[in-house]
Amino acid sequence: MKNVNSNMVPLDGLGIIPERDAGTPPILDIRHLCVDFGGLRAVDDFTLLIGKTEIAGLIGPNGAGKTTVFNLLTNVYKPTEGHILLNGQDTRGKSMHQLNQLGIARTFQNIRLFSGMTVEDNVKVGMSHGYSDSVLSAMLRLPSWWRTERRQHIRALELLDLFNLADKANTLAGNLPYGDQRRLEIVRALASEPKLLLLDEPAAGMNPSETQGLMENIRMLRDEFNIAIMLIEHDMSLVMGICEGIAVLNYGKIIAKGTPKEIQSNPVVIEAYLGEEAVK
Ligand SMILES: Nc1ncnc2c1ncn2[C@@H]1O[C@H](COP(=O)(O)OP(=O)(O)O)[C@@H](O)[C@H]1O
Ligand SMILES: [Mg+2]
User: Does residue 68's CB lie within 6 angstroms of at least one atom of ligand 1?
Assistant: yes
Instruction: Look at ligand 1, atom 26, and give the residue with the nearest C-alpha.
Output: 63
Instruction: Look at ligand 1, atom 18, and give the residue with the nearest C-alpha.
Output: 67
- Report d(CA 258, CA 214) in Å as an integer: 23
Mean pLDDT (whole number) for 28-38: 96
Instruction: Look at ligand 1, atom 8, and give the residue with the nearest C-alpha.
Output: 68
Atom of ligand 1 nearest to the CA of 71: 17
Atom of ligand 1 nearest to the CA of 249: 22
Atom of ligand 1 nearest to the CA of 38: 4
pLDDT at residue 143, rounded to an integer: 77
* Closest among 112, 53, 83 to 230, alpha carbons compared: 53
CATH 3.40.50.300 at 1-103+194-280, yes or no: yes
Instruction: Look at ligand 1, atom 7, and give the residue with the nearest C-alpha.
Output: 37
Q: Which residues pair with 118 in a beta bridge?
A: 172
Q: Between residues 60 and 137, which one has the greater pLDDT? A: 60
Q: Between residues 146 and 103, which one has the greater pLDDT? A: 103
pLDDT at residue 278, rounded to an integer: 53
Mean pLDDT (whole number) for 62-87: 96
Q: Give residues with Cβ within 8 angstroms of 4, minimum separation 6.
A: 219, 242
Mean pLDDT (whole number) for 191-204: 96
**Domain locations in the chain?**
1-103+194-280, 117-193
141 pLDDT tier (thresholds 50, 70, 90): confident
Residue 256's Cβ-side half-sphere holds a number of Cα atoms within 13 Å equal to 22
pLDDT at residue 86, rounded to an integer: 96
